[in-house]
Amino acid sequence: MEFDFSVIGDHARFLAYGIAITVALSVVSGLTSIVSGFGVAMLRLYGPRWLKPVVVLYIDSMRAIPVLVVIVWTFFALPIVAGLTMPPFAAALLALTIHLAAYAAEIVRAGIESVRPGQTRAALTLGMSRRQVLRRIILPQAIVRMLPAFGSLLSITIKDTAIASVIAVPELMRQSETVAGQSFQPIEVYTFAMLVYFLLLFPVTRGVDRFYRSVAHLGRS
Amino acid sequence: MTLDWSVVWTHRDALVEATGTTILLAAATMAIALPCGACIAALRLYAWSPIRTIAACYVEFFRNLPLILVVYWAFYVLPILTGLGLSPFLTGLAALALNVTAYNAETFRAGINSIRRGQVEAAMALGMSRPQALRRIVIPQALRRILPVLTSTWVSLFKDTSLVSVIAVTELAYVAMQVRAQTFRVLEMLSAMAVIYWLLGYPQAKLVDWIQRRYAVSE
């Protein structure tokens, strides 16, 4: 069996474009998921009572449905319902956000609930408003505690962007499929893609761990 | 927009069979990944140090790869490596098992490590041998902490089986998308697929919550 990795060099720009799209989609959908996750968690914890069952249903549904199904549905079925067509990148971004925001919301909720209720009572006794308690007492500690979980959410996000290849988002997975199909050298191309994904993901998991260790003391109480 | 939901009913046999394949695939993967994960964890904890490193590399490698890429890789590379033409089902099973084994190994290792060293030392001071201490003291406690994690790995695995649709394993996602392509009833079939996954996955997610509450460990 002979391997010829020159196929990677021949398609370097094409594959580099894929890596750029993977990184862009990961960063943007990571951010939108965390921001919307905060919103969802706030609704679940402090929102109007009638809304809570809806939020819980949304979160648990996303835990029950595969991300592939959400992506495919958003790209092919949502335009029929909503009457608007979306480019693949936007559809992938929307689907990943809908899916991952549910996980982010659970992380935020767990972080907030991990701050002992005694602290809230003490702050209320000192005359702070509920809003002030959240902003000054709870969130500063809770956000630090959420960091490790957000780190694994980010690595899940990067892995999930590969699934966007099924709706032809030109990210690394899709570009690799194209090159593999054209060159008839799938082994070299997919092995290269594996290496790139590993090199993208491993520093993220390790970097977040290291960063957390340096700030963990801020979250202790 | 005219919708024709009868397409779901006409293809009920195919969908039911595909759902069966999805469940079988998840169960078979777990059946492989539990013993293999335990072996890898044991290698990582107790083996000769070069082997320990190899086991650690295996775990880190597969935990840091998108599963869909492993599926493609298995599809093209396994036939060349092993020299036999595996069916799509077995290829998908191999890819899922490689992935879930790595996660399970990490779960087992973390579970064992979560039992404080002092307990083994105390057991040995009472005259137990190391294997005895492991079997009688560490493992029974570790299992309580491992079980909730394994159940949530199961739920993830159940959803991840949809990814082997890209190599034409006739499980739920693949069959639903095939019917969509043949009948052009896009919204109906894709929604039916989502609903079937939801019906299967929602009770599992709730059960996992219950198990995690029940087995919650507080020190």
Domains defined for chain B, CATH in brackets: 6-214 (1.10.3720.10)
Q: How many CB atoms lie within 10 A of CB B204?
A: 17
Q: Is residue A1 part of a domain?
A: no
Rounded CA separation B195/A77 (Å): 13
Q: Give which of B1, B11, B5, B2 is closest to B177, Cα–Cα.
A: B11
The pLDDT of residue A73 is 92
**CB contact burial A63-72 (16+ within 10 A = b; e otherwise):** bbbbbbbbbb
When pLDDT is cut at 50, 70 and 90, the band that residue A205 belongs to is: confident
User: What percent of chain A stands above pLDDT 70?
Assistant: 99
For B160, half-sphere exposure in the C-beta direction (CA atoms, 13 angstrom radius) is 28
pLDDT greater than 90 at residue B81: no
When pLDDT is cut at 50, 70 and 90, the band that residue A5 belongs to is: confident
When pLDDT is cut at 50, 70 and 90, the band that residue A66 belongs to is: very high
The pLDDT of residue B98 is 94
Q: Which residue of B has its CA nearest to A77?
A: B187
- Put simply, the answer to whether B173 touches A198 (Cβ < 8 Å) is no
Containing domain of residue A70, as a range? 6-219
The pLDDT of residue A16 is 92
B19: Cβ contacts below 8 Å, ≥ 6 apart: B172, B196, B200
Contacts of B155 in chain A (CB under 8 A): 63-64
- Among B162, B186, B206, beta carbon nearest to A68: B162
pLDDT in tens, B44-55: 988 888 999 999
| Min Cα separation B123/chain A (Å) | 32
pLDDT greater than 80 at residue A4: no
pLDDT greater than 70 at residue A63: yes
Specify whether the CB–CB gap between A56 and A120 falls below 8 A. no
When pLDDT is cut at 50, 70 and 90, the band that residue A186 belongs to is: confident
pLDDT in tens, B162-185: 999 999 888 989 988 888 888 888
The pLDDT of residue B198 is 95
- Of the residues A68, A99, A196, the best mutation for testing chain B's interface (the one with the most B CB atoms within 10 Å of its CB) is A68
CA distances from B72 to A162, B92, B183 (A): 11, 9, 27
Q: A6 vs A106, which has greater pLDDT?
A: A106
pLDDT greater than 90 at residue A212: no
Specify whether the CB–CB gap between A44 and A110 falls below 8 A. no
Mean pLDDT of the B108-128 span: 89
The pLDDT of residue B120 is 87
Composition of chain A by helix, strand, coil, percent to 5: 85, 0, 15
| Min Cα separation A127/chain B (Å) | 33
As given in the structure block, the two tokens for residue B205 are: 């997610």
pTM score of the predicted model: 0.89
Q: Which CATH number is A32's domain given? A: 1.10.3720.10
Mean pLDDT of the A107-128 span: 90
- Among A61, A73, A180, beta carbon nearest to B190: A73
- Put simply, the answer to whether A194 touches B65 (Cβ < 8 Å) is yes
pLDDT greater than 80 at residue B12: yes
The pLDDT of residue B8 is 79
The pLDDT of residue A210 is 84
pLDDT in tens, A33-45: 999 999 999 999 8
Rounded CA separation A44/A42 (Å): 5
The number of folded domains in chain A is 1
To the nearest whole number, what is the mean pLDDT of chain A? 90
The pLDDT of residue A1 is 59
The pLDDT of residue B4 is 77
According to DSSP, residue B217 is labeled -
- Among B64, B190, B200, beta carbon nearest to A77: B190
The pLDDT of residue B1 is 62
pLDDT greater than 90 at residue A185: no
- On the 0-12 / 13-18 / 19+ scale of CB atoms within 10 A, A29 is buried
